Chains A and B, each alone.
Chain A
Amino acid sequence: AQSVAQPEDQVNVAEGNPLTVKCTYSVSGNPYLFWYVQYPNRGLQFLLKYITGDNLVKGSYGFEAEFNKSQTSFHLKKPSALVSDSALYFCAVRAARPNSGYALNFGKGTSLLVTP
């Protein structure tokens, strides 16, 4: 089954510093990977996705992610963190079952805290 793992429950970073939120995947076939962010009392918001092509994917709010096939990773990055980036981040992989509508299989999430 397609799955992702987020090894860190929480990541702390100072404002202005670069941030990385880690994600590794396990799939059969090609991986289709997504990052979402969840703010309190709000739904999940799409950040970016990797389908094919360049290994560096650029997304919303200055975020980017690097797809690494050899390390089966898809880490989320941002060069300079903002306090407003503090939220819960989810990595997800597209399921392989057509009848699920290729639903998303999510990791357990990583809480990002950016301190002033």
Chain B
Amino acid sequence: DTGVSQDPRHKITKRGQNVTFRCDPISEHNRLYWYRQTLGQGPEFLTYFQNEAQLEKSRLLSDRFSAERPKGSFSTLEIQRTEQGDSAMYLCASSLGLAGLNEQFFGPGTRLTVL
């Protein structure tokens, strides 16, 4: 399968613990996005990487969140000191090309539950 993959698919953690998610984009895609989706809402933008450079972080991304994309390949999203409000589906997407006119390809998501 050459689509976007995410790991793990589900994560249950206790409040205060740290969690890390991984996203493997389609190999030739230079653009990588993280979104968060809560129940009954559409995905909301979190952060964007162009190759290995993180160009923008949403205000939704507090200081407890950090993302990396070493060597412009896979990406990780870490949440430190998780809170119950962090419970959501975390989606990764990748695309290719200029000006964002091409469609984004989404992974299946990581569902986080913070107890």
Contacts and interface: CB of A to CB of B under 8 A. Distances in A.
Question: Does B bind A?
Answer: yes
Contact of A103 (B48, B99, B101, B103): B48
Interface in A37-51: 41-46, 49, 51
A69 to B, nearest CB: 18
Given A94-B100, A102-B99, A104-B104, A43 B4 contact: yes
B99 A100 contact: no
Given A94-B100, A102-B100, A103-B48, A44 B43 contact: yes
A105 interface: yes
A92 interface: yes
A95 interface: yes
Nearest to A95: B45
Interface residues on B, range: 20 to 34
A106 B103 contact: no
B108 A42 contact: yes
B107 A43 contact: yes
Interface residues on A, range: 20 to 34
A77 interface: no
Contacts of B45: 95, 100, 103-105
Contacts of A74: none
A46 B48 CA distance: 19
A106 B55 contact: no
A107 B107 CA distance: 19
Contact of A46 (B40, B42, B56, B103): B103
8 contacts: A46-B103, A51-B101, A101-B49, A101-B100, A102-B101, A103-B45, A103-B48, A105-B45
Interface of A: 32, 34, 36, 41-46, 49, 51, 90, 92, 94-95, 97, 99-109
- The 9 residue pairs across chains A and B that have the minimum distance between CB atoms: A102-B100, A106-B42, A43-B106, A101-B48, A46-B103, A103-B45, A44-B106, A99-B56, A99-B55
Given A36-B106, A49-B101, A106-B44, 18 more contacts: A43-B106, A43-B109, A44-B91, A46-B104, A46-B105, A94-B100, A94-B101, A95-B100, A99-B48, A99-B55, A100-B55, A101-B31, A101-B33, A101-B49, A101-B56, A101-B95, A103-B35, A104-B45
